Structure 1
């Protein structure tokens, strides 16, 4: 007999074949190795299952944000090279080395911390240097990176594998900042040639860079949201044929007729002008479905777009079928995905919620069961 969690009507479906398709299209488009970003629970798709599938597809590298994510992948038996892209915390440095995780070194002080930990363990650390070309988040400024680069090249306890920066505006193909950042990054990398050292792997392109700026592809690309078939920004140009890998579905659990003027949900913010039919769907902001979609979001029921009405609750929301709409208990409700030729994308929810698709996907939490198809 199935556990109740397995029977929950709300679930995320992940199409592994779509991930395979997207990876293939990105490889063909970029023509260089690919680092697949799987941080934040693989953008809501499931960290270990997605990373394991990408490893089976021969992805060159995986990228996470925190050492804990990298450790989880290692415990799952994944041996693909893993770069931890976030800023490092001194007491955790030894864990990077013990678990064979590649370290983002973002300052001379951080380099010394990594060297000390590696020496104490008697093992070399593999590092990537982070150059700040305009993001002002972490990394040594490109215009003052020479001493930092020289120290990394000379280090006995660190193997310099990569050097990288992050693009702030590449989601917008019209932004001039991306090419400015590219110039700053290449200027910093040129110092490696000047001192006669071998050039490490240069990587700069995120999803926007992959789509819009082939000059940024360099030696490796780092697609994140694009790998999952979602465009990073409304201004993005769909230069690659990618397919959404995630669907979010639920089922009707209650049907009622609401009389004209009778408000629905908390705060009594919405009431129908005429008698209407309303169904309840068992998912809410407690699952990461945005409360900002109250009386704004849409779902698919029997192939028809239907409006969310009233405020999204922690565990449920209500949908207006109209005075003549029909649905039965256990009918499928599609929140993200397709049904009978209609489709709702993560980008659509983001627009209605006044946010970005990254937040929609990564906000879907572990209370929602995930099932994997294909692959």
Structure 2
């Protein structure tokens, strides 16, 4: 089956040198350690190959969303410290400890469950405390976190490595929310000083924080989408020079002339006003390519920017070459990336599909083979 999959003309190409350059650029800008975020299959780039490459580049800390991602990394030989950022259930604590994964502790109740699991295993858990400064997702509210911090400092079975929060609006450089969250986070961290306890590693800045809010860099930063060369929001300022690490490519598999008025694809939502030339591309929403790009998206063929026509299907979609356009079976098609002087960025697709770059990348699933270059 793997031999058959490898023959598929649609593929993702990941530039490992771009990833290394982006990590280097972020490090050079912030001047503090970097936690490389690898959740959601490394933002569609491939969890294990990306982790192995970044570890070879000297990355000192990884972050993932779920315990399963952390275990997959350990089984692949990754030795870098790995923080599981998501909320956990008490029954998962032992698994995290056994695989040498760092835990997010988001309440006193979670702390007690982690302590019990660590004691049962006879080994300490490495934990980061989650403070809620404005996301209302997980974590103890900053204004009521004193008992939580006191309990963590006093814990015999938890080794307190970090304390962190998450920025809700840092993608927007004009938002006042980030300053408020930083103020709340600093107030929460002051409890360590009050208790005479060592200050854990404080980490707050996501990609938006790294780009726009130097005060949020503190002791460590957590780049996600920025590490992969994509801006987190149309409003984001490119204060750090990064380059995209992912291309999405395919090939033409069918050519035909469609006569005027003959509708194309499901729902008959588009028909040419005059005879035109249509090609079919073997990729669809079953691969994670957005159906929202129906009659809106574009691709590059022979250096020309051409429109997607009709609805994107599960496995295919159609492109209008125009009445005089030329393309042949096997011609390269760029869906994300560059061809000649033209380029289609993740940010462009997100705008056309009325979504965000994060969704474009993380929806690209394992049905698409991945190739790795450089490194």
Q: Give TM-score, length-normalised by structure 2.
A: 0.99
| Structure 2 CA distance for partners of 1:2 and 1:225, relative to 1, 3 Å | closer
Which residue pairs with 1:12 in the alignment?
12
Superposed CA offset, 1:172-200 (max 9, x none): 00000001000000000011011100000
**Which 4+ stretches in 1 moved above 6 angstroms?**
none
Which residue pairs with 1:80 in the alignment?
80
- How far apart in 2 are the matches of 1:350 and 1:284? 16
Equivalent positions of 1:138-153 (< 5 A) are: 138-153=138-153
Superposed CA offset, 1:7-65 (max 9, x none): 10000000000000100000011110000000000000000000111100111100000
Which residue pairs with 2:242 in the alignment?
242
Alpha-carbon distance, 1:159 to partner: 0.2
- How far apart in 2 are the matches of 1:2 and 1:29? 41
Which residue pairs with 1:224 in the alignment?
224
Aligned-partner SS, 2:248: strand
Alpha-carbon distance, 1:2 to partner: 8.1
- How far apart in 1 are the matches of 2:29 and 2:89? 36
Which residue pairs with 1:374 in the alignment?
374
- How far apart in 2 are the matches of 1:23 and 1:74? 22
- How far apart in 2 are the matches of 1:101 and 1:305? 46
Which residue pairs with 1:365 in the alignment?
365
Structure 1 unaligned segments of length 5 or more: list them: none
Alpha-carbon distance, 1:210 to partner: 0.2
Aligned-partner SS, 2:68: helix
- How far apart in 2 are the matches of 1:175 and 1:51? 33
Which residue pairs with 1:55 in the alignment?
55
Superposed CA offset, 1:325-346 (max 9, x none): 1000000000000001110000
Q: What's the Cα RMSD here?
A: 0.8
Which residue pairs with 1:97 in the alignment?
97
Alpha-carbon distance, 1:3 to partner: 1.2
- How far apart in 1 are the matches of 2:290 and 2:89? 32
- How far apart in 2 are the matches of 1:193 and 1:38? 32
Equivalent positions of 1:184-263 (< 5 A) are: 184-263=184-263
Equivalent positions of 1:256-275 (< 5 A) are: 256-275=256-275
Structure 2 unaligned segments of length 5 or more: list them: none
Q: Give TM-score, length-normalised by structure 1.
A: 0.99
Aligned-partner SS, 2:243: coil
- How far apart in 2 are the matches of 1:249 and 1:124? 47
Aligned-partner SS, 2:163: strand
Which residue pairs with 1:24 in the alignment?
24
Aligned-partner SS, 2:119: helix
Superposed CA offset, 1:93-140 (max 9, x none): 100000000000000000000000000000000000000000000000
Alpha-carbon distance, 1:92 to partner: 1.1
- How far apart in 2 are the matches of 1:57 and 1:146? 38
- How far apart in 2 are the matches of 1:141 and 1:234? 30
Aligned-partner SS, 2:6: helix
Which residue pairs with 1:346 in the alignment?
346
- How far apart in 2 are the matches of 1:179 and 1:52? 36
- How far apart in 2 are the matches of 1:53 and 1:151? 38
Which residue pairs with 1:336 in the alignment?
336
Aligned-partner SS, 1:27: helix
- How far apart in 2 are the matches of 1:64 and 1:225? 13
